[in-house]
Amino acid sequence: MPTLFEKIVAGEIPATIVFRDDQVTAFRDINPKAPVHVLIVPNKPIPTVNDVSDDDERTLGHMFIVARDLAKQEGIAENGFRLIVNCNKHGGQEVYHLHMHLVGGAPLGPMLAGGKHG
Ligand code: AMP
């Protein structure tokens, strides 16, 4: 079964795409948690960080380059932003196609909310 994000990458489900190349696709989160909330996903469906292989090194590095450029494009680079990659149940991962959240546009508060280990 293709993941939701594979369908977005393939253009089978609509999304507001802000960047696309041969390695990654970036689109606006449907339920934004900040004024800017973009998801950067590898076109290749890697389920979680646990499934990353050495062959993915170039694509994963490229995701940071794209995040840098999108932060500038969205006007949030100077004030700052947060990059988040959730993994599995404790990480709160909902979509099992690895993705990087680029969030910003306002102060984001403490790194982890509601935890008892902070
Ligand atoms: P995560 O909890 O890290 O797996 O994040 C999944 C993210 O995907 C959430 O922030 C959702 O709001 C977002 N999301 C779910 N469905 C869509 C969609 N169709 N288009 C854009 N973003 C989505």
Mean pLDDT on 53-73: 98
**pLDDT (0 to 100) of residue 17:** 98
Residue among 17, 31, 63 to mutate when testing ligand 1 (max atoms within 8 A of CB)? 31
Q: State the pTM of this model.
A: 0.96
Q: Is the CB of 55 within 6 Å of ligand 1?
A: no
Mean per-residue pLDDT, 58-87: 98
**Of residues 91 and 1, which shows the higher confidence score?**
91
Q: Does residue 117 have an active-site annotation?
A: no
DSSP string for 16-74: -EEEE-SSEEEEE-SS-SSSEEEEEEESS---SGGG--GGGHHHHHHHHHHHHHHHHHT
Gap from CA of 94 to ligand 1 centroid (Å):
7
Phi/psi of residue 88, nearest 5 degrees: 60, -165
How much is the pLDDT for 31?
98
| Per-residue pLDDT band at 112 (split at 50, 70, 90) | confident
Backbone angles phi, psi at 58, to 5 degrees: -65, -45
Q: Measured from the CB, is residue 106 less than 6 Å from ligand 1?
A: no
Average pLDDT of the residues in 42-63? 98
